[in-house]
């Protein structure tokens, strides 16, 4: 039995009259690969924002690796080992690909405040590894803002991988990618999960991706959990079919 890594209980978030996340519970065990699905506005991104400290929860608790991280600052949660890749690419456009990843690696090494070290001598091996893993080793001297959309997404993921997170949150990792790039990216996610036992939680609109890659699926609708279970169970669920899967067969 693997160790419980994330335990979310009774999480709530309102935006004015909108109950964006409604009494949300989730357990993740080490090495899990889970997906959260749901129509637009279901609360998936808000949930990620709560988990990473970007929004404050109105109530509920988030326990990560045995520590309560509810409403901690984003940088503290990141240092604790939760890393996040964004739906809309969120990179450092004027730095090179190498500098993007290296800076992220150094931040996770706790070197962000190192004033007298040389940036080009610290964490270089790990940077190379991540660039290799994410298929960015070639052209790593390119300025990130000039990359193709697919490569920007790869860099987005590479940044999230920097510093070896314990839990990786992926917000629509394949949105805007070609079929080929989608396959490559998800193969990388699977590989990270299987080889390095990296716990992964992702949201996705592409049901083929969800049902091929997630081991457990949570369907969210209007902030509430509708059904939670294996992909098979969710697929067979009538409510799920009615409110979401019907349009995504």
Partner 1 sequence: MLSSAGGEKNRGFIIGFYRRVGLSGMIAITLGLGFLLVPLLPGEFPVIVAVEILILGLFAMSFNLIYGYMGQVSFGHAAFFGLGAYGTALLFRACQAATGEIGYLDFFLSLSIAIPVSAIGALVVGFFCVRLTGIYFALLTLAFGELLFYVVFSWYGFTGGDDGIQGLLPPPFFRDTVNYYYFTLTVVAIAVVVLWRITRSPFGYSLRMLRENQQRAAFLGINVRLCMLMNFVIAGTFAGVAGALWGPFQRSVSPVLLGWMESGIAVFMTLIGGAGFFAGPLVGSVVYTTLNAYVTRFTIYWPLTIGFIILLLVLFVPGGILSVVDARIAAYRHRRESNANLAALSADGRESAQ
- Among 48, 57, 136, which Cα is nearest to 85's? 48
Contact call for residues 52 and 45 (beta carbons, < 8 A):
no
Q: Does 33 bind partner 1 (CB under 8 A)?
A: no
Rounded to 5 degrees, what are φ and ψ at 219?
-100, 125
Which CB, 118 or 249, lies closer to partner 1? 118
91 binding partner 1? (CB under 8 A): yes
d(C-alpha 32, C-alpha 3), whole Å: 10
Residue 26 or residue 104: which is nearer to partner 1 going by CB?
104
Q: Does the footprint of partner 1 cover residue 249 (CB under 8 A)?
A: no
* DSSP secondary structure string for all residues of 24-40: EEEEEETT-EEEEE-ST
What is the C-alpha separation between 243 and 238, in angstroms, rounded? 9
Nearest distance in Å: CB 197, partner 1? 21
- Of 103 and 140, which CB lies nearer to partner 1 in the complex structure? 103
Residue 111, interface with partner 1 (CB under 8 A)? yes
Among 36, 69, 78, 133, binds partner 1 (CB under 8 A): 78
Which member of 71, 90, 124, 241 binds partner 1 (CB under 8 A)?
90
Give how many residues touch partner 1 by CB under 8 A: 38
Distant-in-sequence, close-in-space partners of 191: CB < 8 Å, separation ≥ 6: none
Alpha-carbon distance values, 76 to 46, 66, 105, 247 (Å): 19, 15, 15, 39
Interface residues with partner 1 (CB under 8 A) are 52, 54, 73-75, 78-79, 83-84, 86, 90-95, 99, 102-104, 106-108, 110-120, 122, 159, 162-163
């Amino acid at each position: 039995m693997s160790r419980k890594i994330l335990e979310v209980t009774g999480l709530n978030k309102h935006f004015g009259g909108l109950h964006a996340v409604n009494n949300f519970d989730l357990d993740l065990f080490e090495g899990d690969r889970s997906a959260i699905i749901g129509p637009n506005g279901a609360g998936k991104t808000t949930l990620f924002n709560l988990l990473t400290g970007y929004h404050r929860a109105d109530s509920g608790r988030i326990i990560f690796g045995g520590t309560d991280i509810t409403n901690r600052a984003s940088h503290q949660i990141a240092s604790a080992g939760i890393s996040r890749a964004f739906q809309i690419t969120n990179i450092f456009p004027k730095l090179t690909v190498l500098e993007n990843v290296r800076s992220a690696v150094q931040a996770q090494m706790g070197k962000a405040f190192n004033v007298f070290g040389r940036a080009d001598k610290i964490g270089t091996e790990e940077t190379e590894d991540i660039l290799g893993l994410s298929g960015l080793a070639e052209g790593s001297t390119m300025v990130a803002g000039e990359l193709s959309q697919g490569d920007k997404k790869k860099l987005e993921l590479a940044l999230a991988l920097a510093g070896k997170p314990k839990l990786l949150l992926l917000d629509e990792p394949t949105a805007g990618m070609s079929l080929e790039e989608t396959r490559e990216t998800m193969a990388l996610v699977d590989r990270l999960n299987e080889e390095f036992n990296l716990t992964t939680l992702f949201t996705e609109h592409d049901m083929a991706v969800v049902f091929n890659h997630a081991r457990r699926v949570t369907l969210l609708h209007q902030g509430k959990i509708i059904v939670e279970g294996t992909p098979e169970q969710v697929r067979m669920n009538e409510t799920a079919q009615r409110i979401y899967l019907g349009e995504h067969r």
